[in-house]
Each structure stands twice: as structure tokens, then as C-alpha cells.
Amino acid sequence: MKTFWAFVKKETIHILRDPRTLIILIGMPIAQVVLFGFAITNELNDARIAIFDGSKDPVTIEIADRLTSSGFFQLAVELKDESQLEQAFRHDRVKLAVVFPPEFQDHFFREDSPQIQLIADATDPNTATTLVAYASAIIRQYEQEKKGSATLPYAIQTEVRMRYNQELKSVFLFVPGVITIILMLVSAMMTSIALTREKELGTMEILLVSPLKPAVIVMGKVIPYIALGLANVAIILVLATTVFHMPIRGSLPLLIAESLLFILTSLALGIMISSRVQTQQVALMISLMALMLPTILLSGFIFPIENMPWLLRAISHIVPARWFIVIVKGVMLKGAGMAVIWKETLVLVFMTLVLIGGSVRSFKLRLE
């Protein structure tokens, strides 16, 4: 046990004495969250919208007025005809179109659920969902003021239509994605590099010749990275909730436990890589190509999995990040508990066990 802690201590010193890498590892999640976050909020200032008002009554005029005076939207075109919608998206580059049906006021006061259509350009899904959410919120607020807050459910139905990317699911997609990428990076890439560095230095020869058990060598090396991974999760969550007011609807301990699980999955991947390569450079290349790319492209972070060709969709099943993103989204955004995400968790547990088993087995007791 003493040897084990000596190892952990040594590894921690390595990390702390390399401030450049440490700053990158801590700074990257901050930079990513801030960049993704502000890239979206910036779009919300004076987003160009089109309005087709089929009623032109006091109610619709006031709603339209509230939308355009909110600061989020800017009226780019007023449509004379619904057939001009396509034109508005293509040529006037509007991000959102609001369509009021005829005789809106009558329906509104008769309380037979009038419908407002919100049609968004979803080529940028994050922006689209945010715009729709903001517009809906403004409409709700108007309704509450007119009728008092007791009248739930809301009478006005907003019918949302996403143009160009109709599979879009949820806002704040980026935070789960960033957590996933960062954990994969810190856990898998950094451990594979740290382990191959020992080989490059030649110190691995001495470690192998020492009475240390392989499990101790590997565990001693990865523990500091588990801590680093958890620190990154904390940083991202704090930023997301404080700066971007993102909710964590589910249980925080569950979220952290699931993150730990994913860290273990990634660590095992990193160990597997390091056991097969000799240099840090190769370890870095393989980590990037074999781990980061699938994590970014096949996890559903950027491209919806449902829209992928069947082959990629099939491949995505073996990408751990795909399952983890579902878990994080579920816990953070939908308030899901174990009852909802047990399947994904089980998949990850299974993957982790297989990978750890494989990596322990592949760790070589000799140099060949």
C-alpha cells in the first residue's frame, strides 16, 4: 500500500511540475464551455425573424410587438402570404418565422386553444432551439399577464417546426458534449501519454524489474487523472449553472457517479492504447484518431445519431461517449433517475469491465 501511494505521489508531482499541460487541461473545459456558450447567446441578440400575421388583431399585434421589443429578435420581413416563408428563410436569412392564424383574438378569448406556429431554421440546432424557447417564453408571459397565472395549461398552443433539421431534440446540448470530450481527453489521452512516456524514458524497464505488480503501476498512474477528470466535471458544471443558467434537474451525486464510470471507461481505453505503442507521439495520434474523433462525431454530440447512415449508426453503439451523452442529458436536462438511464449505465459498466479486463491483460510484464 505504501508503494502504491508513493506511486500516486510521484505521478501527481509529474502533473504539477508540468504547468503548461496542467493549464491546458484545466483551461480547456473552461474555454470550451465559454466558447460554446457565448456562440449561442450571441446569436440571440437581434436574431432576424419573419412574421406572418393572418389576423392583424390587437392580440397578435401586441405579441409581435413584444417579440420585437424584447431585444432578442429583430423584425426582418413582414410576410404578406404564407408562401413567402421559403423566400424569407433563403433570401432574408431569418432564423425564425412566427405565423399567426386568422381570427386569433376570437380564438384566444374563447379559449379554444389558438395556435401560433414557430418555424425555425435548424441548420444550427442549438440556436434554433434557443430561439424557439425564448419566443415561447415571451408568448407564455403575455398569456399569463392577460389571463392570470392560474390558467394552466396554456391556452395558446405554439406549434414548433424545425426546418432543415427536424430531429433536433434539446437545448444545452453542448454541455453534455463538452463533459464527454474533456473526460475522454483527460482520462484516455493523458493516461496513454503518461504511460508511454515511461517507456520512452526507459523508466518502465526499472519499474518492470521492480517487485511492483502491474496493477499497482497502472492504478498508481491513473488515480491522479481520475481526480483531474472529476475536477474538470466540477468546473464545467459550475460554469454551466452559474454563467449560462443551465439547470441540473436530476440528482447531482448520480451525475458525478456516472461521470466516474465514464472516466474509468476512458482510462481503460488509454491503458489499452499505451500497451500497444512505444512512443508518446504515436499514443497521441491514436488517441486523437481512434478516441476523440468518434467521441466528437459519432456520439450524437454534433450530428444526431438518428440521421446517420445505418453503418455509422451501428458503429456508434460501440462508442462509449454515445451512451454517456444520453446519460448526462437525461440527468441534467430531463431530471432522469436510474429508472430511466439504467440501460445506458449498464452498457457503460459492461464496456468498462471488458476494457479494464483487456487492459490489465494487455499490460506487458516484459518489453515484448
Partner 1 sequence: MSIYINHISKSYGPVKALDDISFEVSKGELFGLIGPDGAGKTTLIRILTTLLVPDAGTARVLDLDPVKEFRKLRPHIGYMPGRFSLYQDLTVLENLNFFATIFGTTIEKNYHLIADIYSQIEPFKNRRAGQLSGGMKQKLALSCAMVHEPEVLILDEPTTGVDAVSRKEFWEMLARLKERGITILVSTPYMDEASLCDRVALIQNGHILQVDSPASIVESYDRPLLGVRAQNTLRLLEDLRHYPLTHTAFPFGDSVHLALTGEQTDGELLDYLQKKGHTELAIEPIAANIEDCFMELMTEKIA
User: Which residue number, 8 or 59, has a Cβ lying nearer to partner 1?
Assistant: 8
For residue 366, the minimal CB distance to partner 1 (Å) is 5
User: Which residue number, 11 or 121, has a Cβ lying nearer to partner 1?
Assistant: 11
DSSP class per residue in 34-61: HHHHHHHHHHTTTEEEEEEESS-SHHHH
Q: Is 7 in the site for partner 1 (CB under 8 A)?
A: yes
Stretch that binds partner 1, among 13-21, 58-66, 67-75, 345-353 (CB under 8 A): 13-21
Q: Is 2 in the site for partner 1 (CB under 8 A)?
A: yes
**Given candidates 28, 75, 133, 208, which one binds partner 1 under the rule CB under 8 A?**
208
Q: Is 203 in the site for partner 1 (CB under 8 A)?
A: yes
Q: Is 24 in the site for partner 1 (CB under 8 A)?
A: no
Q: Is 367 in the site for partner 1 (CB under 8 A)?
A: yes
Q: Is 209 in the site for partner 1 (CB under 8 A)?
A: yes
User: Which residue number, 169 or 276, has a Cβ lying nearer to partner 1?
Assistant: 276
Report the sign of the C-alpha dihedral through residues 177, 182, 183, 189, in that order. positive
What is the DSSP secondary structure assignment for residue 299, as one 8-state letter? S
What's the CA gap between 308 and 178, in Å, rounded?
21
**Given candidates 157, 170, 210, 279, which one binds partner 1 under the rule CB under 8 A?**
210
Q: Which parts of 284-313 interact with partner 1 (CB under 8 A)? A: none
Stretch that binds partner 1, among 8-16, 33-41, 282-290, 347-355 (CB under 8 A): 8-16
Identify which of 267, 260, 265 has the alpha carbon closest to the alpha carbon of residue 195: 267
Report in angstroms the alpha-carbon separations of 190 from 14, 196, 287, 298, 338: 12, 10, 9, 21, 30
What's the CA gap between 252 and 188, in Å, rounded?
24
CB count, 10 Å around CB of 312? 14
User: Which residue number, 7 or 225, has a Cβ lying nearer to partner 1?
Assistant: 7
What's the CA gap between 225 and 275, in Å, rounded?
17
Report in angstroms the alpha-carbon separations of 197 from 22, 183, 206, 287: 16, 20, 13, 14
What is the DSSP secondary structure assignment for residue 154, as one 8-state letter? P
Q: Is 211 in the site for partner 1 (CB under 8 A)?
A: yes
User: Which residue number, 123 or 279, has a Cβ lying nearer to partner 1?
Assistant: 279
Stretch that binds partner 1, among 124-132, 210-218, 260-268, 325-333 (CB under 8 A): 210-218
Give the burial class of 202: count Cβ atoms within 10 A of its Cβ; 0-12 exposed, 13-18 middle, 19 or more buried: exposed
Task: Indicate the helix (H) or strand (E) that contains 120.
Answer: strand 115-121
Stretch that binds partner 1, among 97-105, 131-139, 204-212, 301-309 (CB under 8 A): 204-212
Q: Is 207 in the site for partner 1 (CB under 8 A)?
A: yes
Cell digits of residue 327 = 446519460
Q: Is 365 in the site for partner 1 (CB under 8 A)?
A: yes
For residue 232, the minimal CB distance to partner 1 (Å) is 22
Backbone angles phi, psi at 98, to 5 degrees: -110, 125
**Given candidates 205, 278, 307, 334, which one binds partner 1 under the rule CB under 8 A?**
205
Residues that bind partner 1 (CB under 8 A): 2-3, 6-7, 10, 13-14, 17-18, 201-203, 205-212, 365-368
